[in-house]
A and B are shown apart, each in its own frame.
Chain A
Amino acid sequence: MKITLVKKILADGSPCKKCGDVLNKLESNDQMKFIDEVLVADERDPQSPGMKLAGELNVNRAPFFVVERMGEAPEVHTVYFKFVKEVLDQKTSEKEELKEIMNDNPDLDYI
């Protein structure tokens, strides 16, 4: 299994805050050891490895994780807690999960 993390650089050259938050969580939870490769999706450069991968996989959010297993189609995870639960098989707190969902999906405000 190969796990790739794609993080984003915004069009103005600044780092994506959400990507930083996820990287911090990966570091503090000792989960970076599971990440085989980190690619950058630079919004200023459509040819940057992360932007190309996002295009190939039809992903329109960042950060995201790509899980590749032998003989299977790549699996994309755009939600950190789901990635942790389903791929790393580790526990997360519901409070943190709900917080991440709310912060990442402001369109849910009007549901």
Chain B
Amino acid sequence: MSQLLDTVDLDKTLQAQSPQEILKFAIETFGNIAISFSGAEDVVLVDMAHKIDPDVEVFCLDTGRLHPETYQFIEKVRNHYDLYIDILSPDGDAVRELVQEKGLYSFYQDNHQECCGIRKIAPLRSKLLEVDAWVTGQRKDQSPGTRAQIPVIQDDKVFARPNGTLTKFNPLANWTSKQVWDYIRSNEVPYNSLHDRGFISIGCEPCTRPVGPGQHEREGRWWWEEATKKECGLHATNIDN
């Protein structure tokens, strides 16, 4: 089935649908699908997916640098939904090499890409070789600079198996933070206790901080770095013409 999906046409249809409808389509279309759960407000995806398929597979990227509250929350979600959560760890040798060469806080000196690459992207890539589709909690409003164009469904060429296909779903793409939190509250979904202490976006402990009123959640992550200008996209208007 995955080979036959025209993700561009499907995206136009799914853009108008609710996250639950998108998830239902994803789960019913792909048997071999997994949900990426970061231990933050993307728990709404877990809640929605669990209502569609109680045996849905969920995975977490345990970078080894998460807050204790996040580990506790992941465990809480596991117990609350009685879910199988695949906790993925980085390659020990790669982490050891990075730390020996650059120390434990290299990201403050250069940038977060190298550390994230080892602790997050490498395990993610290995995991995605096992599935035909995956689901993320990415939303357009999380970072206007880098997520403004994210589709609801896309052909994931980055992590696809060699000569294979991988489909990525972003059911929350068009939801705002407020909609996510309205869902969490109205459905009594468990959430990470860090949110009650001013954390909006939650990642690794050294790279996450609470933000104040009026600040964008992006300001709580990698705040010492300048926002990088994305320039790899081809201007969609021109392509459409």
Contacts and interface: CB of A to CB of B under 8 A. Distances in A.
Given A58-B8, A62-B234, A107 B121 contact: no
A88 interface: no
B120 A111 contact: yes
B117 A102 contact: yes
Given A60-B149, A101-B158, A110-B221, 19 more contacts: A8-B234, A18-B231, A43-B234, A46-B241, A51-B238, A54-B239, A55-B241, A60-B233, A60-B236, A77-B157, A78-B158, A98-B118, A98-B125, A102-B121, A104-B158, A106-B146, A107-B146, A109-B222, A110-B138
B96 interface: no
Interface string B204-241: 00000000000000000110000010111111101111
Contacts of A41: 234
Contacts, number: 110
Nearest to A11: B235
Interface of B: 8, 36, 38, 61, 94, 112-114, 116-118, 120-122, 124-125, 136-138, 142-143, 145-147, 149-150, 157-158, 162-163, 201, 203, 221-222, 228, 230-236, 238-241
A74 to B, nearest CB: 13
17 contacts: A16-B231, A46-B239, A54-B239, A55-B239, A61-B234, A62-B232, A82-B158, A86-B163, A95-B117, A102-B116, A102-B117, A103-B113, A106-B145, A109-B146, A110-B142, A111-B120, A111-B136
B234 A51 contact: yes
A60 B162 contact: no
A44 to B, nearest CB: 8
A111 B113 contact: no
Nearest to A106: B146
A104 B232 contact: yes
A102 B225 CA distance: 15
Interface in A10-35: 10-11, 16-18
B138 A107 contact: yes
Contact of A109 (B114, B137, B221): B221
A85 to B, nearest CB: 7
Contacts of A82: 157-158, 162
